């Protein structure tokens, strides 16, 4: 199977699984979901190395969001 | 209930963007491999006609393109010095070289390789783009760079091309090194069970 197609199938499966598992565990923090999506995206990308039409802007956006979430969590810990 | 649904929505947006970023009709790797192999046949014919047997030097030109300089007479060393690519024969410091543009001359210039390490760049071209090999491993032994190509899949065996420029895998590796360091050469190649060991040399340039 073409690895580009496989990447999207794997990513879709991971995202839906994450949403189902975390919601069944009663998770209500949106940043946890986004962090997991980011980790899954980069893991699948590192393993399958899909081609991109141009610069991977999605990866950049997810990375920035992940960094903001981490910074916010660190700031919360330092504040208390 | 709203948060999990929102999260699922965000996940689906991520998936949608990922699908949009995926090229609809990427060039299949076996087509890239066929194109590369096909281009070796022309060079093979030229080398055969001119009865060239010396090993070629991979040189980065001023335009960033990779050229192969093959000593026409006896091999009196690499072409170190200024040169201008004007035709088939180039003179560098009164030495005459047959000048050829190797099949990998342009592929090593693609943007994805610009900041990659040698091993990653070679793996990207040989494994991902062209599927010429299953995996690639590189290490340095003294002044030489050794490339271990596992399960090479190059089927076109041009004898003279291989003797002068190296196998297609070696040619790509040498081009990548020349792109990086300016001047390289395929020293030796050895086919073992399911793998090819390529020894390359990098020369000081300038």
Residues 25-64 of A with CB under 8 A from B: 27-30, 33-34, 37, 41, 49-54, 56-58, 62
Overall size of chain B counted in residues: 206
Give which of A12, A32, A45 to mutate to test B binding, by max B Cβ within 10 Å: A12
Six token digits for residue B82? 């200024």
Give the whole-angstrom CA distance, residue B82 versus residue B69.
13
Residue A32 predicted with pLDDT over 70: yes
pLDDT digits (tens, 9 = 90+) for B78-131: 887 777 777 888 888 888 889 999 998 888 888 777 778 888 889 888 888 888
Q: Average of pLDDT values for B44-60?
A: 89
Strands (E), chain A: none
pLDDT digits (tens, 9 = 90+) for B13-31: 999 999 999 887 777 778 8
Residues on chain B touching A22 (C-beta within 8 angstroms) = 4, 7
Write down the pTM of the prediction: 0.70
Residues linked to residue B69 through DSSP beta bridges, in sequence order: B57, B99
Burial (0-12, 13-18, 19+ Cβ within 10 Å), B158:
buried
pLDDT of residue B205: 58
Within an 8 Å CB–CB cutoff, is residue B7 touching chain A? yes
Say if residues A32 and A22 touch (Cβ distance below 8 Å).
yes
Q: Average of pLDDT values for B170-187?
A: 91
Mean residue pLDDT of chain B comes to 86
Contact B17 A58 (CB under 8 A): yes
CA distance A32 to chain B (A): 9
Give the whole-angstrom CA distance, residue B72 versus residue A26.
75
Enter the DSSP assignment of A73.
Answer: H
Domain boundaries along the sequence of chain B: 29-202
Nearest CA in chain A to B6: A30
pLDDT of residue B156: 66
ipTM for the complex shown = 0.92
pLDDT of residue B146: 94
Q: Average of pLDDT values for A71-78?
A: 93
pLDDT digits (tens, 9 = 90+) for A37-59: 999 999 999 998 888 878 889 99
Give the whole-angstrom CA distance, residue B119 versus residue B139.
9
Residues on chain B touching A62 (C-beta within 8 angstroms) = 14
């Amino acid at each position: 199977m073409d690895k580009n197609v496989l990447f999207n199938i794997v990513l879709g499966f991971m995202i839906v699984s994450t949403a189902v598992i975390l919601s069944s565990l009663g998770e209500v923090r949106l940043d946890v979901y986004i962090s997991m999506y980011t980790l899954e995206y980069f893991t699948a990308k590192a393993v399958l190395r899909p081609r991109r039409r141009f610069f991977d802007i999605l990866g950049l956006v997810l990375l920035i969001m992940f960094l903001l979430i981490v910074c916010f969590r660190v700031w919360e810990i330092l504040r208390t | 209930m709203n948060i999990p649904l929102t999260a699922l929505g965000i996940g689906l947006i991520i998936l949608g963007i990922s699908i949009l970023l995926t090229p609809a009709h990427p060039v299949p790797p076996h087509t890239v491999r066929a194109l590369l192999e096909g281009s070796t046949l022309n060079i093979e014919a030229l080398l055969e006609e001119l009865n060239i047997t010396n090993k070629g030097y991979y040189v980065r030109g001023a335009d960033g393109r990779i050229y192969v300089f093959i000593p026409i007479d006896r091999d009196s060393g690499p072409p170190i010095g200024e040169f201008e690519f004007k035709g088939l024969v180039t003179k560098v410091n009164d030495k005459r070289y047959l000048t050829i543009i190797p099949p990998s001359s342009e592929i090593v210039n693609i943007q994805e390789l610009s900041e990659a390490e040698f091993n990653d760049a070679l793996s990207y071209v040989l494994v991902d783009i062209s599927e010429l090999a299953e995996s690639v491993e590189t290490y340095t032994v003294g002044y030489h760079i050794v490339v271990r190509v596992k399960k090479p899949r190059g089927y076109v065996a041009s004898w003279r091309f291989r003797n002068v420029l190296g196998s297609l895998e070696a040619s790509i590796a040498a081009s990548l090194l020349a792109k990086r360091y300016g001047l390289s050469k395929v020293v030796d190649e050895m086919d073992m069970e399911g793998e090819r060991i390529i020894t390359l040399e990098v020369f000081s340039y300038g």
